[in-house]
Structure 1
Amino acid sequence: MTCQLPYDCLSEIFEYLKGDKTALYSCLLVNRLWCKSSVRILWRDIWNLRYSMAYKHRPKVTSTILISILVACLPNESKELLYKNGIFIPTPTSKQPLFNYAAFCQVLSIYEICRIIDEVLEEDKNYLVVNEVIKMLMNEISSLKILTYYSNNGIPDKISFTCFSEERDCLIDLSELHCSSNLSSEFFYQLSQICQKLQSITIDFENMDFGISFELKELILLQNNLKNLTLSAFKGGDWTDIMPALIKHSNTLTRLHLSSNNGNLPLLFVALFPNLQEIKFSFVSSAGYPHFEDFNELQYVNFHKLQILNFPYQCPKLECMMKFLENNGKNLKEIYIAKSNNGLNLTIAKFCPNLKNLFTIFKNDELDILKIIFNSCQYLESIEIWCGNTYLSEKEVLETIAKHSPKNFCELKMYNNSISKLIPKDLETFFISWLNRIPKKLLTLIIIKEDYNSLEDDEENMKIIDKYENLGVIKFETKFYDED
């Protein structure tokens, strides 16, 4: 006699699996009750599911499958409108779908809707499908959490905003917005009348011919608890005009991410946010330091709550970075700096004793500096290191990790910018050393790879990795260099 768990229990269990889309997908196939419990979670962010399920032989949710399901969920009047306009999209079945999938959504990506419809249809009336799908989702979703709307294709100019009227209660609790700065002022006006609980805003600044609309500034100004802000400026974009609207949020903002390939954009406004816990500057330029002129003054500002500092591409002048770390390093838990030298690394060792996660560059003659960091940063749990060519070798990194890493250390990420030279004997020696460490701790070993060979491409290396993974000594993962 089989025992069936109640629906509420299943739903609670599946909540713990929400990060594992492959496991949730398999639950769809067990029985109707399991399917009902898991499909609600999978459809919360169906747009992300298209990408997260597409790797490592996972089932892929294609554009054709997704748009056919959405069209099947449309009300009859919408289907008739598409039919009258000569738009025919096959649906999985002539019957109504098993579930009202649209009602499960908590994330609405107008950008993805436009994109998948463009992929599936080659019509000049695609905007009609977009409008009907958006209208249906807005009617069916009870509480929308995330809205994404970018203007980098032709359809958004023809989107109707009547569904964003004040009658749409699903927008009241919207907490996250991703958008372009040059969207219709009507869109920003409708949102500003409804959404005042946004905690996270991401804005892409492009095509600044007409400046920033008053309605966008008003939308920013009216938020009551803005915590996360991401500003991206490309193709001549500029965030200068919204600076006055941001001042209101000087006490609530805790995370700031600035991204650009345009030089000389203002940075001094960062000093207006004393409660920042995370700062990320993603600037890309081949012209040295044009983005960081303001950092000459920012280096002296104290951010007493700062825990995460991230420079994934270009960095300020290293002497400015060293002064900034001298003022702000004590509370830092995570540092990611893609440009470095021995002076900056020694500054990290001296002024950042509470680090848990670190990525910095070590040249092939800086092994002693790595040991100094391990000795000084006794709370360090994870480090990412580049190996090969002008960087440290894999062998000496592993030997140093085994002998000198602090007791809480449990994660090593290695990226090799050349063909791996690590031989199986050295790899097993490292695993044996780790096995004998006190206190014993499972090590997560993550290999970040590109097109050329890395250590896991060697069959003998993989046998050793499998052996020690089965023994519970390590957990092994691979990621691609551009994978988040």
Structure 2
Amino acid sequence: MPSRLPADCLNEIFDYLEEDKPTLHSCLLVNRLWCKISIRILWRNIWDLKYSVTYQHRPKVASAILSTLVACLPNESKELLYKNGIFIPTPTSKPPLFNYVAFCKVLSICEIGRIIDDTLEKIPITSQSLKDRKSLIANEIIKMFINQISSLKLLMYYLIKNIPYDISFDCFFGARNYLINLSELGCNSNLPSEFFDQITQICHNLQSLTINFENEISNELKKLISLQNNLKNLYLFAFDGGDWTNIIPTLTKHSNTLTKLHLYSDHDDNLPLSFVSLFPNLQEIKFSFSYVGTQFEDFEKLQNVNFPKLQFLSIPYQCPKPEYVMRFLENNGKNLKVFYTEENNRDLNLSIAKFCPNLINLFIVFSYNELDVLKTIFNNCQYLESIKIWCGDGFLSEKEVLETVAKYSPKNFRELKIYNDPVSELLPEDLESFFIIWKNRTPKKSLTLIIIKEYDSNLELNKENMEIIEKYKKLGIIKKFETKEYGEDESKNYI
């Protein structure tokens, strides 16, 4: 009889697969024990599962999630929906095999609203207004989560147009114990003051805080920020004229604990950036400004500030001025492990080679005549393992990039990401030549090749190219090949 690993060992092993959803799904079919352990992990953050599929399949997945949640509702909640003419089909007439909701560690009010919005038009409802229907379903699901979750790690509560605004706060804070260990909170700045007041009474140990700034910033929100004991990660988003200026004085308490700061704005107001200098222990800084042409002059005050622990830096297109960034890299580039820039500037690219010798991951844009700059970066950044490069009209060609990577990339290089603009023009003979050279490199490293696209990639459609890729996968030359939509490959930690 074959030996059987105990459940606690399987739990530890499966924990390492948390980001590998396909493997976890395959484990569901082995036996009941494997199924139970996999389900626990998959349902920790069921909202992440919704976005692990392609765009066209999301409505189907949203419907499946909502049906499962409705199946888990207590009988009184189901009866309430029936009485109000709301009939949501469930996967089976029998009770669910597991108490899925109890496995959750993440509660997303906005995602509950989204899955309701995605599927409501297909559900036969005979009474009440659309807003009342959404509110009723959402409140019953939220009450179930609150009553079933023993310890919540992440709460996301964003007001968007598809989310019912009349969430019952009485039920939301009815069972306080589930919020005691809350470590991450995401919210709008204009949520009712009552929400922030209640959260402040319960949670003093938030490590991560995300705020979407609207026009209103209450004193209760400032108090919530001020009373946290060990805030490490802060993400500030300014939408439609929103502004984080009013909370800057409140942030000073966290000057020594904050290690990660992301700032995002979608408008052209000259929002303050110099307050970043308040946090000398930052390890990760990400600026993201979608308004093209904004220079954010306030960054000038940061160019001479030293962040001795900084390892991750992300700078958006045309913001700030390249000369400011170059000076910033001169002061802070030595310890950088990850650098992301969409700015297309030769001098800035050369400064990366000069000031950032310890880079491991890099996203960079080269003009069509800057192949020498790429070679210089490979020569000076000997620890580089991964690079993402923009290819296409006005930029380096895929063929040039492949040849240069094969011949000049450092010995530990293992991952190439190519963004095609607009589509791949790579010929089979160029691809074959690249893999032959890569095969003969010393030391030998299996390569991960990722194509990033906004449109259908010609590389995928070219049968001969795909046959070459499969050939070198079988030989072990390619570790992994995949295509992704633009933006899908980015995360908080790596490019």
SS in 1 for 2:369: coil
SS in 1 for 2:43: helix
Deviation, 1:150, is: 0.7
1:367 equivalent in structure 2: 371
Distance in structure 1 (CA, Å) of the matches to 2:375 and 2:203: 51
2:484 equivalent in structure 1: 479
- The 8 Å contact of residues 59 and 119 in structure 2, kept in 1 or not, is answered as no
SS in 1 for 2:139: helix
> What do residues 401-451 of structure 1 show as CA deviations (whole Å, max 9, x unaligned)?
122111111111112214433322222121111111111111111111231
Q: Name which of 226, 241, 245 aligns with 2:246.
A: 241
1:24 equivalent in structure 2: 24
Distance in structure 2 (CA, Å) of the matches to 1:435 and 1:378: 20
- The 8 Å contact of residues 164 and 190 in structure 1, kept in 2 or not, is answered as no
Map of 1:224-235 to 2, 5 A cutoff? 224-235=229-240
2:461 pairs with 1:457: yes
- The 8 Å contact of residues 276 and 303 in structure 1, kept in 2 or not, is answered as yes
Q: Name which of 219, 222, 240 aligns with 2:224.
A: 219
Q: Name which of 133, 137, 142 aligns with 1:125.
A: 133
2:130 pairs with 1:141: no
> What do residues 446-479 of structure 1 show as CA deviations (whole Å, max 9, x unaligned)?
1112315443432212111111111111132211
Distance in structure 2 (CA, Å) of the matches to 1:426 and 1:322: 35
In structure 1, give the amino acid aligned to 2:189. Answer: S
My pick for the range that moved more, 164-173 or 2-11, is 2-11
2:111 pairs with 1:112: yes
My pick for the range that moved more, 15-24 or 219-228, is 15-24
Distance in structure 2 (CA, Å) of the matches to 1:18 and 1:286: 37
In the superposition, the TM-score normalised over structure 2's length comes to: 0.91
Instruction: Using the aligned pairs only, state the percent identity.
Output: 67
- The 8 Å contact of residues 206 and 230 in structure 2, kept in 1 or not, is answered as yes
2:343 equivalent in structure 1: 339
Deviation, 1:155, is: 4.5
Deviation, 1:267, is: 0.8
> What do residues 28-47 of structure 1 show as CA deviations (whole Å, max 9, x unaligned)?
23332222121111111111
In structure 1, give the amino acid aligned to 2:210. Answer: T
- The 8 Å contact of residues 257 and 281 in structure 2, kept in 1 or not, is answered as yes
Map of 1:427-442 to 2, 5 A cutoff? 427-442=431-446
Distance in structure 2 (CA, Å) of the matches to 1:234 and 1:56: 27
Distance in structure 1 (CA, Å) of the matches to 2:396 and 2:191: 48
1:84 equivalent in structure 2: 83
SS in 2 for 1:231: strand
Map of 1:12-411 to 2, 5 A cutoff? 12-54=12-54, 62-121=61-120, 123=130, 124-153=132-161, 155-165=163-173, 167-206=175-214, 208=215, 211-262=216-267, 263-289=269-295, 292-411=296-415
CA 1:224 to 1:61, structure 2 compared with 1: closer, same or farther past 3 Å? Answer: farther
Gaps of 5+ in 1: none
In structure 1, give the amino acid aligned to 2:155. Answer: L
Distance in structure 2 (CA, Å) of the matches to 1:457 and 1:64: 31
Deviation, 1:379, is: 0.9
> What do residues 241-299 of structure 1 show as CA deviations (whole Å, max 9, x unaligned)?
1111111111111111111122211111111010111111110113341xx11111111
Deviation, 1:61, is: 5.9
Deviation, 1:179, is: 0.9
The root-mean-square deviation of aligned C-alpha atoms, in Å, is 2.1
Distance in structure 2 (CA, Å) of the matches to 1:91 and 1:473: 46
In structure 1, give the amino acid aligned to 2:242. Answer: G
> What do residues 166-186 of structure 1 show as CA deviations (whole Å, max 9, x unaligned)?
742111111111111111111
Distance in structure 2 (CA, Å) of the matches to 1:385 and 1:188: 43
Distance in structure 1 (CA, Å) of the matches to 2:162 and 2:191: 12
- The 8 Å contact of residues 166 and 190 in structure 1, kept in 2 or not, is answered as no
CA 1:12 to 1:154, structure 2 compared with 1: closer, same or farther past 3 Å? Answer: closer
CA 1:54 to 1:5, structure 2 compared with 1: closer, same or farther past 3 Å? Answer: farther
Distance in structure 2 (CA, Å) of the matches to 1:326 and 1:125: 57
Gaps of 5+ in 2: 122-129, 490-495
CA 1:64 to 1:371, structure 2 compared with 1: closer, same or farther past 3 Å? Answer: closer
CA 1:111 to 1:270, structure 2 compared with 1: closer, same or farther past 3 Å? Answer: same
Distance in structure 1 (CA, Å) of the matches to 2:119 and 2:423: 41
CA 1:155 to 1:406, structure 2 compared with 1: closer, same or farther past 3 Å? Answer: closer
- The 8 Å contact of residues 315 and 338 in structure 1, kept in 2 or not, is answered as no
Distance in structure 1 (CA, Å) of the matches to 2:262 and 2:374: 28
Deviation, 1:56, is: 10
CA 1:233 to 1:55, structure 2 compared with 1: closer, same or farther past 3 Å? Answer: closer
- The 8 Å contact of residues 422 and 455 in structure 2, kept in 1 or not, is answered as no
Distance in structure 2 (CA, Å) of the matches to 1:451 and 1:165: 45
My pick for the range that moved more, 10-19 or 173-182, is 10-19
Distance in structure 2 (CA, Å) of the matches to 1:467 and 1:10: 35
> What do residues 98-136 of structure 1 show as CA deviations (whole Å, max 9, x unaligned)?
211110110101111122223333643321221121111
Deviation, 1:380, is: 0.9
Distance in structure 2 (CA, Å) of the matches to 1:349 and 1:105: 45
Instruction: Tell me the number of residue pairs that the alignment of Structure 1 and Structure 2 aligns.
Output: 478
Distance in structure 1 (CA, Å) of the matches to 2:375 and 2:118: 52
In structure 2, give the amino acid aligned to 1:110. Answer: I
Deviation, 1:4, is: 4.9
2:492 equivalent in structure 1: none
Distance in structure 2 (CA, Å) of the matches to 1:68 and 1:324: 51
SS in 2 for 1:383: strand
In structure 1, give the amino acid aligned to 2:442. Answer: I
- The 8 Å contact of residues 285 and 314 in structure 1, kept in 2 or not, is answered as no
Distance in structure 2 (CA, Å) of the matches to 1:393 and 1:286: 25
In structure 2, give the amino acid aligned to 1:221. Answer: S
SS in 2 for 1:62: helix
